[in-house]
């Protein structure tokens, strides 16, 4: 058995400075050094760094990805393995430093229309946890003439580099809280928890192309079959989001790092269940690929002896075919299955919420309706490009009103109906 330690350093505020330090809960970030490092990428023309704090009258738009700053305690280990480092390392063991209370937010000129919004105060702030974080926002201007895939890659890697840079500041900090997770081998699990029901968790990760992609250890998931992981690997940056799906329900990198389903399953592991593993399942567009992935998921679950499964969706619409296919395959061989999703049920909630259903899906948890409408009041400061509001998912031409308020669906608010259950919304049948 190995161990994985999450060393959480609590941060209450961020100050842009000429040095790097953590003092009395305040994170000091060397702005010039961080900016210079990011601009080493020739695909970026400029990077502006701003800070948004909880309760401030600040709106961040458009938002591409959100990451929690993390690094490794030891020099001979790496974080975000395969993405910005050599792939010859193993995630999910050893000690990772977490700058708890901080997010790196990537913003700037739009990569794709499915990017989102964060309000730090007002009614919009109630829809996601990021309004409660100290956000270090990277407002990036792409170099002229680059392609959209090059733009997406530059923004994605800048976010990861910044997250690791800030995580490194936590090395040597003496005040922290550490949580330790055992990392069992299969043999140890079968011996130690032989009498407990065997459970697998299938976590979808979109891999549809057209900038709807996630990365497994730095590899575009379009080229991957399902990946069997220890739960701690996802906590340790094994999956990085490059996903331009709808903001309300796409998994950002932060969501993969802090997946509440994994945390809850680990709380029960060895007590009421035997958590046999996490299956990260790419979601592709073609039906034949969906069948291929579903069969591989089923095979893996059966090899592990699973009697129960949780399957969570990433995105919406097309991935619901994969979600239902997994339920159908699992239930037909006696693997009891719970699905976790959200809905697009129309602004009045009267429309069909999912693009696909199956009779075997008889235990479904939903995390809200992305079509719910909301009026967001004006903010004193906008970080990013406010015109994007009229084009992002959830918005429309005229969403940004003359008085500075916004009329939109919560589909445009980052993580508002997150399909891992990290927020507080639900849908009630009436």
244 is an active site residue = yes
Give every CB contact of residue 139 below 8 A, 6+ residues apart in sequence. 47, 48, 49, 50, 107, 108, 383, 384
Query: Which parts of 231-307 fold into alpha helices (H)?
Result: 231-235, 253-257, 260-268, 287-303
- The SS3 call for residue 424 is coil
Q: Which of 134, 224, 244, 248 is labelled catalytic?
A: 244
Q: What letter would DSSP give residue 197? A: P
Cα 22 from chain centre:
26
Tokens of 89: 């390392």
CA atoms of 299 and 222, how far apart (whole Å): 20
CA atoms of 323 and 360, how far apart (whole Å): 11
Q: What letter would DSSP give residue 42? A: T
What's the CA dihedral at 131, 257, 285, 157 to 10 degrees?
A: 80
Count H helices, E strands: the chain?
8, 24
CA atoms of 67 and 320, how far apart (whole Å): 26
Q: Tell which residue, 228, 201, 198, has the closest CA to residue 216.
A: 228
Neighbouring C-beta atoms of residue 147, cutoff 10 Å: 10
Q: How many CA atoms lie within 13 A of 46 on its CB side?
A: 6
Q: Is 200 exposed, middle or buried (0-12, 13-18, 19+ CB in 10 A)?
A: buried
Q: Which residues are the active-site residues?
A: 244
């Amino acid at each position: 058995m190995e161990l994985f330690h999450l060393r959480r350093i609590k941060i209450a505020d961020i100050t842009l400075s000429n040095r790097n330090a953590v003092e009395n809960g305040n994170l000091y970030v060397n702005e010039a050094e961080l900016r210079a490092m990011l601009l080493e990428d020739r695909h970026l023309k400029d990077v502006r760094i701003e800070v948004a704090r909880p309760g401030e009258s600040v709106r961040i738009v458009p938002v591409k990805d959100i990451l929690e700053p993390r690094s490794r305690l030891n020099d001979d280990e790496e974080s975000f393995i395969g993405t910005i480092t050599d792939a010859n390392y193993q995630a999910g063991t050893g000690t990772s430093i977490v700058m708890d209370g901080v997010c790196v937010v990537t913003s700037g000129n739009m990569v794709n229309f499915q990017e989102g919004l964060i309000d730090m105060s007002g009614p919009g702030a109630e829809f996601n946890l990021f309004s409660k974080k100290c956000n270090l926002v990277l407002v990036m201007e792409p170099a002229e003439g680059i392609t959209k895939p090059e733009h997406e890659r530059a923004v994605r890697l800048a976010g990861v580099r910044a997250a690791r840079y800030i995580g490194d500041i936590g090395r040597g900090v003496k005040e922290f809280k550490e949580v330790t997770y055992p990392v069992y081998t299969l043999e140890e699990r079968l011996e130690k928890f032989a009498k407990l029901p065997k459970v697998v968790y299938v976590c979808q990760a979109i891999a549809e192309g057209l900038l709807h992609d996630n990365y497994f250890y730095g590899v575009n998931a379009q080229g991957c079959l399902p990946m069997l992981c220890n739960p701690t690997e996802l906590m340790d940056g094994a999956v990085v989001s490059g996903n331009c799906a709808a903001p309300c329900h796409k998994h950002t990198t932060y969501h993969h790092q802090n997946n509440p389903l994994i945390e809850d399953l680990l709380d029960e592991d060895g007590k009421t269940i035997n958590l046999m593993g996490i299956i990260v399942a790419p979601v592709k567009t073609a039906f034949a690929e969906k069948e291929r992935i579903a069969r591989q998921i089923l095979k893996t679950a059966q090899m592990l002896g699973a009697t129960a499964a949780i399957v969570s969706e990433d995105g919406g619409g097309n991935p619901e075919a994969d979600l239902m296919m997994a339920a159908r395959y699992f239930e037909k061989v006696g693997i009891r299955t719970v699905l976790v999703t959200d809905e697009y049920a129309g602004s009045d909630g009267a429309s069909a919420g999912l693009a696909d259903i199956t009779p075997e899906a008889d235990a479904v948890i939903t995390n809200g309706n992305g079509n719910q409408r909301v009026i967001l009041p004006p903010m004193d400061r906008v970080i990013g490009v406010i015109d994007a509001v009229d084009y992002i998912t959830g918005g429309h031409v005229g969403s940004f009103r003359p008085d500075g308020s916004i009329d939109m669906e919560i589909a445009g608010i980052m993580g508002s109906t997150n399909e891992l259950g990290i927020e507080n919304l639900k849908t009630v049948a009436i």
